[in-house]
Amino acid sequence: MNVRIKFLGATQTVTGSKYILDVDDYRIMVDCGLFQGLKELRVRNWQSFPVAASSIDVVLVTHAHIDHVGYLPRLCKDGFAGKIYCSEASADLIPMMLADSAKLQEEEAEWAARKGYSKHDKPQPLYTVQDAARVTPLLHPVAMDEPFALLPNVLFTLRDAGHLLGAAIIELELLGERMRKKITFSGDLGIQHDPLLYPPTPISNTDVLLIEATYGDRDRPEIDAKETFAQAVEEALDRGGCLIIPAFAVGRTQTLLHYLKELFLEKRLKPCPVYVDSPMAIKATRLYERHLDIYRHHDAPFSQHGFFEFPNLQFCSDQEESMRINGVKSGAIIISAGGMMSGGRILHHLFNRLPRPQDTVLIVGHQGEGTRGRDLLEGHDHIKIFGESVPVRCQVKAIDGMSAHADQSQLLDWAKQFTEPPKRTFIVHGEKASAQVFGQLLKEQLGWSTVVPEYLESFSLFEGI
Ligand SMILES: [Zn+2]
């Protein structure tokens, strides 16, 4: 058996995770992510795919974030028709994530057409909502911790990665004629003390490891996220206005609801109305409730029904309810998507609230370069929304340290749990500096042999096993 790997993304960058593994003439793709962020990366989404999509036999997916699954509709459009294996929770999340991504692609194409900034006569989306829907029948959920045979001599097992609902580490076992080998894909690794999810599963041995290094070069400040959040809520409501929290619909919104529920139950916070104003966040919360066994506190006394529900919580699914919140002038918390304030219902809330000195916007997630969220974080006094320049007179606060990614120390701690060093370790899913620093750290502290691969680079992993 001969095995080769080719890196089609997440090389010296954090998006576009895609790896092609050739096991003799059987072709496995691991993750199928979209490139995001800088234009020089995004253009890769439009380039012809480096291998024929129809030559791929199966896709294995670590988790439902768009930088790991967002290229799937395009792959299918280009001729991939095999099975896509993922965890049960991922199979629930992926259709929703892809539909949302497709909607954004369609809106962008429409915007480009209207503004005439596209080189094409009629700008096309990378894929449509219809294209995204074609991925769903190909999804095959697989139970965690149970080996699954792709071929009699090629097996994989999913292990909880603690990063997002359903996120998995993939252990791929190759039963060669002469020896067994293992390749492990870390996917994105979660933190040690996530309020909802378990920490990433320790892996004891592997021949080849692909490890993420999003925070490979830094540690985050250690904060008590729940208490910091409680203080921010208190301060904001004491000002006599409302608190607006732009949050990602999947993951961050549920963490905030969990904190709020606990803080109200513990009487740490006075009861107040909480609005979740995002159809996607509401859908995601329902999906989260279908997978309670995944949580650390699934047996908590308050988890019986409506894991995330508490008195005064209101889900706003239609536009009318959403607009009605504009009339609420004080004492309420409004959680709305999207997290970087690039689109979604959060925009009309910001449009209304930014000019009000009593109100507070609390930023709880990473804000990418060039986004409204980043401008707000950097203290711009005007923000453009719906083509208008809106003055920022409200309070803008940020909590730094809430993240779904292991930081450098936690990545290193996870690596230390291997009882013997992997023969070869590829550092992926990190900016260049981050990947290099982390690779060096693994060499120096653990004596590992590490490589930071280049885009489209390929390596022979095993020959004649
Ligand atoms: Zn992720």
Task: Note the pTM of the prediction, 2 decimals.
Answer: 0.93
Query: What is the per-residue pLDDT across 290-313, written as a single tens digit (0 to 9) for each?
Result: 888 777 776 665 555 578 889 999
Element (H, E) at 449: none
Model confidence at 355, in pLDDT bands (50, 70, 90)? very high
Query: What is the per-residue pLDDT across 9-36, written as a single tens digit (0 to 9) for each?
Result: 999 999 999 999 999 999 999 999 999 8
Instruction: Say whether 225-398 and 3-218+404-462 share the same fold.
Output: no
Provide the pLDDT for residue 340.
Answer: 83
For residue 331, pLDDT over 90 is answered with: yes
For residue 80, pLDDT over 90 is answered with: yes
78 burial via Cβ count (<10 Å: 0-12, 13-18, 19+): middle
Provide the pLDDT for residue 338.
Answer: 82
**Would strands 3-7 and 18-23 be described as parallel, antiparallel, or unpaired?**
antiparallel
Give me ligand 1 centre to Cα 18, in Å: 13
**Would strands 26-32 and 450-451 be described as parallel, antiparallel, or unpaired?**
unpaired
Provide the pLDDT for residue 108.
Answer: 82
Q: Shortest CA distance to 96 belongs to which of 159, 142, 139?
A: 139
Q: Shortest CA distance to 406 belongs to which of 160, 164, 196, 213?
A: 213
For 395-425, letters b (16+ CB in 10 Å) and e give bbbbbeebbbbbbbebbbebbeebeebbebb
Query: What is the per-residue pLDDT across 101-134, written as a single tens digit (0 to 9) for each?
Result: 999 899 888 887 877 665 666 789 999 999 999 9
Q: Shortest CA distance to 27 belongs to which of 71, 79, 66, 89?
A: 79
Query: What is the per-residue pLDDT across 357-404, written as a single tens digit (0 to 9) for each?
Result: 999 999 998 887 778 998 999 999 999 998 899 999 999 999 987 888
* Domain spans in the chain, listed from the N-terminal domain onward: 3-218+404-462, 225-398
For residues 43-59, average pLDDT: 97
Percent of the chain with pLDDT over 70: 97
Give me ligand 1 centre to Cα 204, in Å: 23
Give me ligand 1 centre to Cα 315, in Å: 26
For residue 73, pLDDT over 90 is answered with: yes
Give me ligand 1 centre to Cα 420, in Å: 27
- Phi/psi of residue 390, each to 5°? -100, 125
Percent of the chain with pLDDT over 90: 82
Provide the pLDDT for residue 24.
Answer: 97
Provide the pLDDT for residue 305.
Answer: 58
Give me ligand 1 centre to Cα 97, in Å: 12
How far is 265 from 288, CA to CA, in rounded Å? 20
Give CATH for domain 225-398.
Answer: 3.40.50.10890
DSSP class per residue in 388-402 = EEEE--SEEEE-TT-
Contact 207, 424 (CB under 8 A): yes
Q: Which residues contact residue 131 at a Cβ distance below 8 angstroms, ignoring those fewer than 6 apart?
A: 73, 74, 76, 77, 102
- Homologous superfamily of domain range 3-218+404-462: Ribonuclease Z/Hydroxyacylglutathione hydrolase-like (3.60.15.10)
Give me ligand 1 centre to Cα 281, in Å: 17
Give me ligand 1 centre to Cα 404, in Å: 8
For residue 155, pLDDT over 90 is answered with: yes
Give me ligand 1 centre to Cα 214, in Å: 10
- What is the residue-averaged pLDDT of the chain? 93
Give me ligand 1 centre to Cα 329, in Å: 36
Provide the pLDDT for residue 343.
Answer: 82
Give me ligand 1 centre to Cα 129, in Å: 22
Give me ligand 1 centre to Cα 374, in Å: 20
Provide the pLDDT for residue 169.
Answer: 98
Provide the pLDDT for residue 46.
Answer: 94
Give me ligand 1 centre to Cα 17, in Å: 10
Give me ligand 1 centre to Cα 92, in Å: 16
Distance of CA 387 to the CA centre of its chain: 29
**Residue ranges of E strands in 237-376:** 243-246, 274-277, 313-315, 333-336, 360-363
For residues 238-254, average pLDDT: 95
Give me ligand 1 centre to Cα 212, in Å: 10
Give me ligand 1 centre to Cα 100, in Å: 16
298 vs 5, residue with greater confidence: 5
For residues 167-191, average pLDDT: 97
Give me ligand 1 centre to Cα 146, in Å: 22
